[in-house]
Structure 1
Amino acid sequence: MPKAYVFTRYGGPEAEALVERDRPSPGPGEVLVAVRAAGVNPVDWKQRTGHRRPGGEPRPLPAVFGNEAAGVVVETGAGVTGFAVGDEVFGNPVDGGYAEYALLPVAVTARKPAGLSFTDAAALPVAAATAYDGIRQLGLPEGATLLITGAGGGVGVAAVQIARDAGLRVVGVASEGKKDFVESLGTVHVPSGPGLAERLRAAEPDGVDGVFDLVGGETLEEAASVLDDVTKLITGADRETVAKLGGTGVERARTAAVLDEVGRLAADGTLRPFVTRTFPLDRAGEALRAVEDGHARGKIVIEVAA
């Protein structure tokens, strides 16, 4: 039977397990994909703890981990047009991507560009798409200065590159250990940690034109201190704090059109997913720990099949 990595209850890592399950069957508007790779994101372990989007329903347990997947279509559901068996695709799974087979709704599924690997494609549906949506939401003019917190993580790395492609000057907050990495992307690096606000004011005495936060909490508060226009303050990590500061969360489009665009950017070399580590499915727990500890550089991907 096909394997999947799941959480059997809400809680910590002890709730995780590699299990066998029946091969899913696609419903209307869905395709069944033989998964080749699945991206790992902070939201994955947060969902294990019981986190869900506002208004979202609790997932039936056991629940499969993973919100990004790339693979090959093996079956299509009723009413599906534009996709056929054998197509190479990537998107946001219905019920988790850390599995040998996953269901993808065609509304958030795109064809994988021929020159893009499955591993790189699996890094796009959450991280790169969130970055793309956030940069478009801010709408800063060419030449403006954008501050990105968490610039060395999966979403941050994508946001830096998309912002630079849009003609923005980028200030990236990341740990001292990621300094060389984020500077290689063309950012002005500011070390994270206590005293951030003081370091930001020293680096940017005239302030910044926008803040794209990917950390939340105190980091978000200190980043906001160097921004005059709170309408240009967004977060992908902490909606409660950003609301108190007068900003907003990232408004996710969640469309196939956005996936098509980030796939194009990745295929032409404008956007490098920077997959820094890969793990097989039977070591999915290690992949999650690498992200859950908060120090991962770039993207981590589970490679499910060759």
Structure 2
Amino acid sequence: MKAAALYSFGGPEVLTLTDLDEPHAGPGQVRVRVKAAGVQHFDAGIRQGWAPPSVDLGIPVVPGNEFAGVVDQVGEGVTGLPEGSEVLGYTTLGSYAEYVVAPADQIVHKPAGMPWDIAGGFSANGQGAHLCLREMKVGPGDTVLIHAAAGALGTFAVQLALAWGADTVIGTASEANHDYLRSIGAVPVTYGEGLVERVRALAPDGVDAAMDNAGPEALRASVELVKDKNRIRTMISDEAAEELGVPALGPGRSVERLLELIEIYEQGKIRLHIRNAYPLDRAADAHRDLESGHGHGKLVLTGLTALRPARP
């Protein structure tokens, strides 16, 4: 099979299209012919040689931790996912490829009306935002601050907070992305120096909860703005969180969480903008786009031919 793999760690250029042996479904697993795979900052960390303690980065490494496609091989003991099923799911590695094998309990049926590129980029950021907001106990009447709200993770977080009854969601972003934030229901605010004062002007009664997707300075601003640190979480600033007394985010990807997200999507309360769709042989360009810090929405890989044209 073709895969975007790396044989050394470093910049985007280490991701190259290569031929690898096809994987096969073992007991409790299914093999999926991939139609689309999401591109994550997690994947960029893998590319640079970082990995969670439980993950062995044996060369070659195929990144990719979310996918959508068609089941084409079913392992022993698997029921409810016959060959030909259109699905989406998650794993830790392996999705930047024509085939991925994953445990059956990490895969769900794709809604018939969900486009492949949306499905391929739905699971990881959606579950991250869901976990974060649930731990923050976001609900009716809240004023919520989402840092880096125009990215894929922020896009999910803004819409989930509103779906769960938040009165106001304030989202930080560059001015170029303010119209996008308004389109998904957020009140935009420019990040950078003076952020705390700008947010206070928008929320004179205070901020109830805050989610950091931007970095330590955003987390420090959140601590100034939110009275209860138990209602603050960070997705990226673990050291700063420990220093500031902000609770660490727990584990939480699950099929149950993914199914709840799909239900909210089918209710029309979540929409995911695909910023760019790259063919598999341009995975390096997708990572360059990811790390540019520009644009809004989600990046995906879509096999050897992009479902939508990517920018040059």
- Fold similarity call, TM over 0.5: yes
Match for residue 29 of structure 1? 28
1:7-156 pair list within 5 angstroms: 7-53=6-52, 55-156=53-154
Structure 2 CA distance for aligned equivalents of residues 30 and 128 of structure 1: 23
1:221-236 pair list within 5 angstroms: 221-236=220-235
Structure 2 CA distance for aligned equivalents of residues 4 and 218 of structure 1: 37
Aligned length: 304
Match for residue 165 of structure 1? 163
Structure 2 CA distance for aligned equivalents of residues 104 and 184 of structure 1: 35
| Structure 1 pair 229–237 and aligned structure 2 pair: CA distance change class (3 A) | same
Instruction: Say if 2:148 and 2:171, in contact at 8 Å, map to a contact too.
Output: yes
Instruction: Say if 2:15 and 2:283, in contact at 8 Å, map to a contact too.
Output: no
SS of residue matched to 1:14 = helix
**Residue type at the aligned position of 1:4:** A
Structure 2 CA distance for aligned equivalents of residues 94 and 188 of structure 1: 34
Structure 1 CA distance for aligned equivalents of residues 245 and 93 of structure 2: 34
- Return the offset for 1:294: 2.1
- Return the offset for 1:181: 0.6
**Residue type at the aligned position of 1:266:** Y
SS of residue matched to 2:129 = helix
Match for residue 251 of structure 2? 252
Match for residue 177 of structure 1? 176
- Return the offset for 1:202: 2.9
1:257-296 pair list within 5 angstroms: 257-296=256-295
Structure 1 CA distance for aligned equivalents of residues 114 and 288 of structure 2: 27
Instruction: Say if 2:14 and 2:284, in contact at 8 Å, map to a contact too.
Output: no
Instruction: Say if 1:130 and 1:250, in contact at 8 Å, map to a contact too.
Output: no
SS of residue matched to 1:240 = helix
Deviations 1:91-135 (A, max 9, x none): 113532111111121221111111111111111110111111112
- Return the offset for 1:199: 2.1
Which stretch of the first structure deviates more once superposed, 60-69 or 215-224? 215-224
RMSD of aligned residue pairs (Cα, Å): 1.6
Structure 1 CA distance for aligned equivalents of residues 198 and 62 of structure 2: 41
Long gaps (5+) in structure 1: none
Instruction: Say if 2:126 and 2:261, in contact at 8 Å, map to a contact too.
Output: yes
**Residue type at the aligned position of 2:146:** I
Structure 1 CA distance for aligned equivalents of residues 301 and 266 of structure 2: 20
Long gaps (5+) in structure 2: 308-312
Deviations 1:167-186 (A, max 9, x none): 10211111111111101211
Structure 2 CA distance for aligned equivalents of residues 206 and 260 of structure 1: 35
Instruction: Say if 2:3 and 2:17, in contact at 8 Å, map to a contact too.
Output: yes
Which stretch of the first structure deviates more once superposed, 167-176 or 237-246? 237-246
**Residue type at the aligned position of 2:54:** G
Instruction: Say if 2:13 and 2:284, in contact at 8 Å, map to a contact too.
Output: no
Instruction: Say if 2:222 and 2:232, in contact at 8 Å, map to a contact too.
Output: no
Instruction: Say if 2:12 and 2:285, in contact at 8 Å, map to a contact too.
Output: no
**Residue type at the aligned position of 2:163:** D
**Residue type at the aligned position of 1:245:** L
Deviations 1:35-65 (A, max 9, x none): 0001111111111112223x32332111112
Structure 2 CA distance for aligned equivalents of residues 49 and 6 of structure 1: 13
Deviations 1:215-246 (A, max 9, x none): 12212212221111001010111211112111
**Residue type at the aligned position of 1:71:** G
Instruction: Say if 1:130 and 1:252, in contact at 8 Å, map to a contact too.
Output: no
Which stretch of the first structure deviates more once superposed, 245-254 or 64-73? 245-254
- TM-score scaled by length of structure 1: 0.94
